[in-house]
A and B are shown apart, each in its own frame.
Chain A
């Protein structure tokens, strides 16, 4: 699967989300995991698709006072008010003040531990990756507490997020408990 029209990925991801829950259509005995691949610049990351509720185009984000810098603000999603995290800031990556581009940037809305929604602002969304669950590798030198595994993807590895830890801003400074 290669990147084409970025908007098409929205439909793709939705279709993938819709498939979850039904029986695996793949009759192979290997247990497959479906991951949504997201990008920050040239770095790929992945989110377990069962936690992804929807992917929306970038829309105006209302800043909120007195919150950690990782919280960029709130958006309204069909009447629900949802916080949006700046993924770069959350991962302590240098924040490039690049102009946000409505055509490319996406907000991935996930369901948190207690059913509360939270959004993550990403540069782009590329594909749904199906990978055998056994193929994941634990990262040796973990860059972030929120990354729980490395998933092989062609020639490279994709960093898989632990969604609960990603959304837990209070634990950021912890040295990441073993998964």
Chain B
């Protein structure tokens, strides 16, 4: 049970809510931080990323305050300060600042983790307070470096309308030698959002949008006019050409430094426009105080009533707070059970569809209704396609990237590294690989166990590593990738590897293996997966693996997956988990044995063949098939499931199934075709049936049991070892 420790019920609801609330937030911050370091534009930070981080920190601060975690709140606040100084150009965007950000987010993550385990104090850990002090001194130490704004060659009216941040961006752009444009366009009041989005998108492709302001202009009542201030490297001609929106009017207000010609003074009209637009914009969002008071008098005539109404309904340029709220509401948290219900409904629709299909087919044989029957068949085809799309859509919603788990693991490794003081590097690959949310959740514990094992037992102490000619720093590598209809997750280390002799001795000592049994190295390795093999004895620790590999295997098998171990003494171990992408819906191959039918998940089917009884070979008491020169172990499904033997001397079908590296052939009487199936657990007194993964309803074919391919294939493997 070591691995399967579920979230303890003692953990209070508040803590749980808090953690679930901020986990995603922290994850996004980490991703943004990584991008921030990578994606610099000519040494400058990407403003969008800084802003997004700022908003995340702001939200985190709010949530922490709401839940009463002052420590986290205070550190988020400091984080906000750093980010604010960065975006205002008050802080040098060097490696030092980024490290500070990295560290702050890491400490926040640790702190949130502590909350999750109810080990946190409201004011936060020692570490958190130390970091706060360091940030404090970093911010104030650098304050002297903050630049005194130099006069700008931009008309004052435009400047006045901008917020401090926008002004900073404007200065930056001018300093970078970019030209300034005002892009103006009118949209229909009822549908301006799309138009504005299109305009913004096109403009963003050409440069940076410094500000978006609703403009009064001389537009009819049913229209609304916006002006965008855009900084761009392009000269006026190419800017206009590439913007390519007939509705947009472009005016250059400031030529770029790279364009030696052209007036530095914009036409008067643009000046006026900038002023009025800004005033109207501020007034509409209640930010008048920040902007200049001057236009207030003329405001009434300048801004038609219709326009301010529209701006109130749908603020085109929301304040920071509003925007941060919006970015959260773009994603929806959905209970996975609701998705299950949807999936069930889709499954039932699929069954209904099958019934309709059968009727259509029958009718096609009736000459009197041939025309209608053809139309029904056509409609049925269309329905089938749409249903497939619906199914794929619902499935896709359930998919989450492995990164979610990998990042949790990297937090664990970081913590272990700090606590134990062991030099270990964690490499992560394929975090984008997607899996069903339920599977990902169930994988977190086994993977955590594997990583801890590698950290604690597999990786040698530095002196031992150096003596063996390896780098002092050990490496744990996590990799996920898709292979066919499965996802493979590998946890590997470059540690001491598994000592086969010790494993063998242990298995014999525990009575799991007769002393005289001959085993291949692979079979010996697989012994560590046997229940009862590993205990807390020191002996397994020196074998390079800690406790509970059998529990890992149990958890993975419950998900319809396989565990596979590879190890080279002296140079490391790889544990491979092969898993289906989803458990919710399967494409099934329906096979018949006697008068019974079974469904085999198509994800595990490699191919199907027909064989004559004479083609079935025997070797060491087992049945084999020669599959293009390779031996393929055969299992007769009727024997597996204790059904009456079918007639001999008839051609039978073999379904070649494979999981991971193991293959087997299932001998059946008939192949009855493919069908979509919703895999359901079997309810009732008997909790689990060996070799059966569940059941499904297949319309006119009734209730059909779904074969647990992993169990049968594993049996095949085990039997081979026993032989």
Contacts and interface: CB of A to CB of B under 8 A. Distances in A.
Interface of A: 60, 62-68, 71, 74-76, 79-85, 112, 116-119, 167-169
Contacts of A79: 344, 347-348, 678, 680, 697
Contacts of B683: 80-83, 112, 116-118
B685 A81 contact: no
Contacts, number: 88
Interface residues of B, number: 28
Given A81-B682, A118-B684, A169-B686, A62 B702 contact: yes
Contact of A67 (B686, B694, B703): B686
Contact of B682 (A63, A64, A167, A168): A64
B681 interface: yes
Contacts of A64: 682, 686, 689, 692, 705
B100 interface: no
Interface string B600-639: 0000000000000000000000000000000000000000
B691 A168 contact: no
B694 A81 contact: yes
A121 to B, nearest CB: 12
Given A71-B686, A79-B344, A65 B642 contact: yes
Given A65-B692, A81-B695, A81-B703, A117 B642 contact: no
B295 to A, nearest CB: 65
B640 interface: yes
Given A62-B596, A64-B692, A83 B702 contact: no
B672 to A, nearest CB: 15
A60 B596 CA distance: 12
Contacts of A75: 703
Contact of A116 (B684, B689, B695): B684
A62 B702 CA distance: 8
Interface of B: 344, 347-348, 596, 640-643, 678, 680-686, 689-692, 694-697, 702-705
Given A74-B703, A76-B703, A79-B344, A66 B642 contact: yes
Given A65-B641, A66-B642, A66-B691, A60 B703 contact: yes
Contacts of B641: 65-66
Contacts of A82: 682-684
Contact of B705 (A62, A80, A84): A62
Q: Which 10 A-B pairs have the closest CB atoms?
A: A83-B684, A65-B641, A76-B697, A81-B695, A118-B684, A76-B703, A116-B683, A62-B703, A81-B680, A169-B685
A115 to B, nearest CB: 9
24 contacts: A60-B702, A62-B703, A62-B704, A64-B682, A64-B686, A65-B640, A65-B692, A66-B642, A66-B692, A67-B686, A68-B686, A79-B344, A79-B680, A79-B697, A80-B680, A80-B683, A81-B682, A81-B696, A82-B683, A83-B682, A112-B683, A112-B685, A118-B683, A169-B685
